[in-house]
Structure 1
Amino acid sequence: MTETAGTAPSISAEQATVEAELTRNVLRSFEDCPDPRLKQVMQALVQNLHAFIRDVRLTEAEWNRAIDFLTAAGHITDDKRQEFILLSDVLGASMQTINVSNEAYKNATEATVFGPFFVDDAPQIPIGGDIAGDAAGQPCWVEGTVKDTDGNPVPGARIEVWEADEDGFYDVQYADSRVAGRAHLFADQDGNYSFWGLTPTPYPIPHDGPVGKMLEATGRSPMRASHLHFMVAAPGKRTLVTHIFVTGDNLLTCDTVFGVKQSLIKDFVEQPAGTPTPDGRGLDGQNWSRTRFDIVLAPEIP
């Protein structure tokens, strides 16, 4: 056997035959699968997984470590923390799935990662309401329109928004069952929406578990670029899951989950204390910011 720099060792023809035959046998085991799509997915998974194992010449010790890693990810996962989503995110699998599932369509707003901190049943607020609750941070006025790709308003579009506080934590990461930094609202008849939130700040993904240890071992940062989450839905339209990011954030080029897209980077314009707010809200001498995010929904694919 020989080995060259940066490559796996070569193997004998006999060994290659043994390995290839196993792959063929596993592929054949799915031939009678009654669901054509499931058959396609499982056979492609086997083909690529076996190719990876053979390419890196995976050892039994490494395989055991991988099993231990996945077991630890399962143990730390609960109803408030999803370690497998984090793993998918930091490997770029979440973002690639989104790219594949949300093909570009005319001028529709681009999608990005969902993240592990969305929860159902966020409180409803009126247009101009406040999603922050008791979450700490600088107030931020967010406004925009929801339209279709032909420029027509999408009245009544449901807009879910959620974000971390200035300390980098979502409400579900606290132990006191608070609900803060999240809400939903509906666009008006002209597709307009607005709300008060918090100026986004950077934060690390949870890195006290196996995914964090993997990032540390590979010399990667757990930091996410500053962002505000949106999920926008309307009848006949493709549901949009996306964020907006902050112009000038030095993490835009190294977001740990690869979620940043140029079209989603927005100006969050600082407003000095005492600047009149769009709705007349008094902010007790606080600085605040404002941004605009106009949303374009693609048609639903049948």
Structure 2
Amino acid sequence: MTETVLQLDNVSKKIGQKEIVHNISFDVRKGEVFGLLGPNGAGKTTIIRSIVRLIKKTSGEVHISGVNVDENFKDAIKNVGAIIENPEFYMYMSGFNNLKQFARMSRKDIPQERFVEIVEQVKLSHAIHNKVKTYSLGMRQRLGLAQALIHEPDLLILDEPTNGLDPQGMREFRELIRSLAQNGTSVLISSHLLSEIQQITDRFAIINHGKLTHIESMHELEKEAKVTIQLEVSDPEAAKLVLESLDIEIKAQVEQQLTLELASDFVPEIARSLVKANIDILELAKVHVSLEDRFLALTNGGETK
């Protein structure tokens, strides 16, 4: 059985008579990257802040590595690294001295070799002894990750971590998160950048109007949802007859290229049928299903009431 690192059971938060989040339940497994999605104001940050007790939830339970956060906060939180909103630093100190300062606050003893290891892991070796005020936004994000990871937590929590990053910074961030997960760290990541979430997560939950409406794995999303296929063939008219016999709708045609929409697992059947009809397949390209389409369908266009 896969180990559960984070467990939320019926977490709710009220402010006055207004319920911000309602009976939220989900788990994050060991070595899993779990995405928390929702429109602005849906309650994502409230959930994250409730997990680490930056705000007090109204009801429900949170367990981290099997420890109840309310009953034994210190033991639970020692297994967590987090960046909530923007990481903050002493700007006139070096990155290395910022890390040392943060390490002093940890309940774990952090050996000197761990500093070297984590700096290399976040690719800051070349600048770690420079003052943080000279760092780019991407470098500050990596330093924030180093702070969050230096005590080797079981769970890493990130709230909108790619805000302001350029494409190169986003790519480096994705590679680092996947590497952490492969080495056993669980990651809970909140973001409105759906394309980023699609490239990085194993499962995702959608929060809308403070309620959890959907949990799905990326594998299930890509398997069940329809995908767009761009198919170039030697004889488009003959190919159209084959596709019509399979009840495949042709969305568009430009010369020898046909655009189709169908279930992902039906693609091999199309290829077999065309080859059997002696039609050469010059190109077959699958346009991956978009998490954005799924998100909009499940949140009424992503609008809040």
| Structure with the higher helix share, 1 or 2 | 2
TM-score (norm 2): 0.24
TM-score (norm 1): 0.24
| Structure with the higher strand share, 1 or 2 | 2
